[in-house]
């Protein structure tokens, strides 16, 4: 049995899959290697990219200074229903040794696997930029559909 609100959200996700993939590619291109101090500015840039993306969708979002790299906090003050909190990280592990990569680690590549499936390959596509954007894209789809988002942020 399908749910009309969920069907509308899933249709919105399908319709905007290309734009969602482009956002992932933009985020993956940011070399936010948190374990290497040489990439501290890139970590800051990734946090700002995420906060800007959330603000563009109407969230109250900002980067927050921490003893390490900045964190991003966003609130949707318009929702109703239960509170929802999700966590994800925008930093990635080093890519060394580079000669073990078959492509640029900071460019998303769609690669056909021996089992016939197509996987996205690039540093952060599976840990954790891809998952982080999955939450954001779901929020984007709920906000763009005629259905009301069934949750709210903790400070609503």
Going by pLDDT thresholds of 50, 70 and 90, the confidence category of residue 156 is very low
HEC string of the chain equals CCCHHHHHHHHHHHHCHHHHHHHHHHHHHCCCECCCHHHHHHHHHHHHHHHHHHHHCCCEEEEECCCCCCEEEEECCCCCCCECCCCCCCCECCCCCHHHCCCCCCCCEEEECCCCCEEEECCCCCCCHHHHHHHHHHHHHHHHCCCCCCCECCCC
Going by pLDDT thresholds of 50, 70 and 90, the confidence category of residue 42 is very high
State how many domains the chain has: 1
pLDDT for the residue numbered 155: 46
Q: Does 152 have pLDDT greater than 90?
A: no
Higher pLDDT, 156 or 56: 56
Q: What is the pTM of this model?
A: 0.90
Please report whether residue 156 resides in a domain: no
- Alpha-carbon span 71 to 66, nearest angstrom: 7
Domain that holds residue 107: 4-144
pLDDT for the residue numbered 87: 87
Please report whether residue 80 resides in a domain: yes
Mean pLDDT of the region 57-86: 86
Please report whether residue 152 resides in a domain: no
Please report whether residue 149 resides in a domain: no
Q: Give the C-alpha distances (Å, rounded to integers) separating 14 from 34, 49, 52, 150.
A: 33, 23, 23, 20
Which of 145, 151, 139, 135 lies closest to 8, judged by CA? 145
Q: Distance from first CA to last CA of the chain, Å, rounded?
A: 32
Please report whether residue 96 resides in a domain: yes
Please report whether residue 155 resides in a domain: no
Please report whether residue 28 resides in a domain: yes
Q: Does 27 have pLDDT greater than 80?
A: yes
pLDDT for the residue numbered 21: 96
Residues 108-139 pLDDT 10s: 999 999 999 999 999 999 899 999 999 999 98
| CATH code, domain carrying 121 | 3.40.630.10
Percent of the chain with pLDDT over 90: 68
Please report whether residue 104 resides in a domain: yes
């Amino acid at each position: 049995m399908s749910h009309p609100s969920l069907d509308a959200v899933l249709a919105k996700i399908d319709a905007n899959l290309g734009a969602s993939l482009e956002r992932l590619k933009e985020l993956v291109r940011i070399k936010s290697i948190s374990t290497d101090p040489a990439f501290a500015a890139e970590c800051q840039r990734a946090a700002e990219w995420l906060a800007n993306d959330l603000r563009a969708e109407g969230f109250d979002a900002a980067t927050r200074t921490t003893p390490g790299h900045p964190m991003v906090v966003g609130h949707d003050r318009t929702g109703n229903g239960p509170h929802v909190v999700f966590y994800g990280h925008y930093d990635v592990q080093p890519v060394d040794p580079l000669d073990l990569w078959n492509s640029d680690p900071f460019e998303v590549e769609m690669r056909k696997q021996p089992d016939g499936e197509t996987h996205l390959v690039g540093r952060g596509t599976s840990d954790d930029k891809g998952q982080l954007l999955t939450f954001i894209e779901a929020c984007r789809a709920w906000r763009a559909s005629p259905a009301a988002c069934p949750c709210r942020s903790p400070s609503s």
